[in-house]
Amino acid sequence: MQRAEFESQLNELKDAAERSLTGVSGLEDLQSWEREYIGSKGSLTLMFRALGGLDSADRPEAGRLLNQVKQSLTATFENRETELKAGATAARLVSEAVDVTLPGRQPQTGNAHPVSLMIDELSEIFALMGFQTVFGPEVETGRYNFDLLNIPSDHPARDVWDTIIMDTLSEEIVLRTHTSPMQARVMEESKPPVRVIVPGRVYRYEAQDASHEWMFHQLEGLAVDSNIRMSDLKGVLQELARQLFGPTRRIRFRCDFFPFVEPGVDFAVDCAICNGKGCRVCKQSGWLEMGGAGMVHPRVLAGVGIDPEVYTGFAFGLGIERLLMMRYGISDIRAFAGNDLRFLSEFAALTV
């Protein structure tokens, strides 16, 4: 190759490279440009090889020109690279910009379930009267759910509780139908004086409607000591009604039958909404049924090794959902386990 030809080729290459660089608009394009012109396999590198074909006298000058072009193209390349990188960073900063003046996003917090709130409240009320809160198993044996409560296996009263039976193979296993089995468990564990309440879930094989659920919560109460009387039971329940529904509330006892108490009663509180005159909430009766109660049956005491000649006791059981329904005028018990957030979040303000 002649020197003149070499130089014109070099000039053409330089022009083409510079022209092409003005069209480069992104870092990726720039990289292909580098590969094409100044990279190790690029056109300029090929020109270095062509140097060998020149006359030895022409080589130094041609080499100098070639190096000049390489330096100039490399410098232009680096400038463009700096420019493009700065542009990319600026664009990224703009797209990732955070407006710190925007109001924060409210975190979604849950709140306590109304039943939990009521259990806390009941625990506090009873703690002030000397009762300890304890919890028991939801899966029970027939022995605790029935036998020790004076309901033998052939007794018709066993049918009253619509039991969900889990297993009958070795020993009868049931979902507890009431919190009363904890009466026996507590008395087996601790000797009198006993004063406990037992909140918890109970289960019944029952069709659901506005006032029946197959799972609901009860609060059991038990006091055993020397000289416990029916009037103590009445006083405690009266105080409960006043704490829950206001200072002027009254309590009503009526005879009722439960195999594990004698005498047995159902108890009601006079309706706080109409002051006992009769309204929709109390179904015109003036009274709201709260649960069952009575004096612990001597056979129950004897069954757990407590001498009924020395000790007496009272027990009561009430429905926790029912208390909430009375207080807040909730007409459908299914709301509690229905998991509708519109209902549950109504109690957010009461959560501490």
- Smaller CB distance to ligand PHE: residue 294 or 303? 294
Pull the structure tokens for residue 183. 């009466």
Shortest Cβ 193–ligand PHE spacing (Å): 18
Query: Site for ligand PHE (CB under 6 A): which residue of 261, 290, 300, 326?
Result: 261
- Smaller CB distance to ligand PHE: residue 114 or 221? 221
Residues 16-43 as b or e (16 or more Cβ within 10 Å = b): ebeeebeebeeeeebeebbeebbeeebb
* Residue span binding ligand PHE (CB under 6 A) among the ranges 39-47, 96-104, 209-217, 285-293: 285-293
Query: Site for ligand PHE (CB under 6 A): which residue of 148, 184, 219, 315?
Result: 315
Query: Site for ligand PHE (CB under 6 A): which residue of 30, 54, 293, 326?
Result: 293
Shortest Cβ 99–ligand PHE spacing (Å): 59
Active site residue 212: no
Beta bridge partner(s), residue 292: 266, 317
By CB under 6 A, tell whether 258 contacts ligand PHE.
yes
Q: Give the binding-site size for ligand PHE (rule: CB under 6 A).
A: 11
172-201 residues in contact with ligand PHE (CB under 6 A) are 178, 180
Shortest Cβ 270–ligand PHE spacing (Å): 21
- Smaller CB distance to ligand PHE: residue 10 or 177? 177
By CB under 6 A, tell whether 259 contacts ligand PHE.
no
The number of beta carbons lying within 10 Å of the beta carbon of residue 162 is 13
Q: Which residue ranges make up the site for ligand PHE (CB under 6 A)? A: 178, 180, 258, 261, 291-294, 315-317
Q: Which residues are catalytic?
A: 161, 178, 204, 218, 261, 315
